[in-house]
DNA sequence: CGGATATATGATTGAGTGATCATATAATAG
DNA sequence: CTATTATATGATCACTCAATCATATATCCG
């Protein structure tokens, strides 16, 4: 089986600023939409769409409680991936500093 | 500093089927374009564009040797990220099987 | 029931993306 | 110098995506 598309879909879901902000915010645990969209500074509507997308992709849990709907990270691996991306970013930035100083 | 866009850019670079195929192929080490595009079954032109994008994003090295241009993964973390995505995928697939069996 | 709150969804729009074809550039061999 | 090989790039096109506004749905409270 070729898993390329499935794996790309997961990584693509993480590679978008608004979704990444949501994921950062969900690190501390489950949150409802009404907490998420003010925290990340996006419209309720837009936030809802991104949350739905990430549930479809399989990286978020959804739980209903009364009127509120709570979302949470479904896999610890998601945080690890984001942390590794941060490491790469840091290396790139310091690497460029080194180049700038040398020039 | 808000690093959201930078981190998203890195993850986005990985979240595309053609680029993911390239990254899989580069696990074994440095390869030139003439080796890469037949291996992944894409056009030379298209392959070149994706390689350039990944160099700009800072996840690939480029080295010139005569007429050939070699590309290589620039960070070990890239392989780790892809492996973690594979783990998530596997958990999702087996999880769905379990649900199907229970139904 | 009627109003308020929380979330989702339809429609639209502008921007971005990936692939393709044709062509340009660069390096090397003969 | 010319032909060949390797790679990059311009132009184009269909498609996808993110954001927004307006509205629908659902739950709860009084």
At A33-56, the pLDDT tens digits run: 999 999 999 999 999 999 999 999
Q: What percent of chain A stands above pLDDT 90?
A: 88
Note whether B91 and A74 are within 8 A (CB).
no
Instruction: Confirm or reject contact between A97 and chain B (CB < 8 A).
Output: no
Give the CA diameter of chain B: 61
Average pLDDT of every residue of chain A:
94
- The low-confidence residues of chain B, meaning pLDDT below 50, are none
- pLDDT number for residue B91: 95
**Domain limits of chain B?**
4-74
Token representation of residue A69: 């709907």
- Interatomic separation, CA of residue B36 and C1' of nucleotide C27, rounded (Å): 20
Token representation of residue B35: 């080796």
Instruction: Confirm or reject contact between A92 and chain B (CB < 8 A).
Output: yes
Distance CA A92, CA A80 (A): 18
Note whether B50 and A39 are within 8 A (CB).
no
B4-74 under CATH 1.10.10.10, yes or no: yes
- Tell me which chain A residue has its CA closest to the CA of residue B86: A7
Token representation of residue A65: 């409680």
Q: Which of B24, B77, B88 lies nearest to residue A59, judging by beta carbons?
A: B88
Distance CA A71, CA A22 (A): 10
């Amino acid at each position: 089986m070729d898993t390329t598309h499935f794996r790309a879909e997961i990584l693509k879901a993480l590679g978008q600023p608004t979704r990444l902000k949501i994921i950062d915010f969900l690190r501390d645990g489950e949150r409802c939409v009404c907490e998420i969209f003010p925290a990340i500074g996006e419209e309720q509507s837009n936030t809802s769409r991104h949350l739905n997308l990430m549930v479809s992709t399989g990286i978020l849990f959804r739980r209903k409680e009364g009127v509120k709907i709570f979302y949470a990270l479904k896999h610890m691996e998601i945080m690890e991936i984001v942390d590794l991306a941060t490491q790469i970013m840091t290396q790139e930035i310091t690497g460029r500093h080194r180049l700038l100083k040398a020039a």
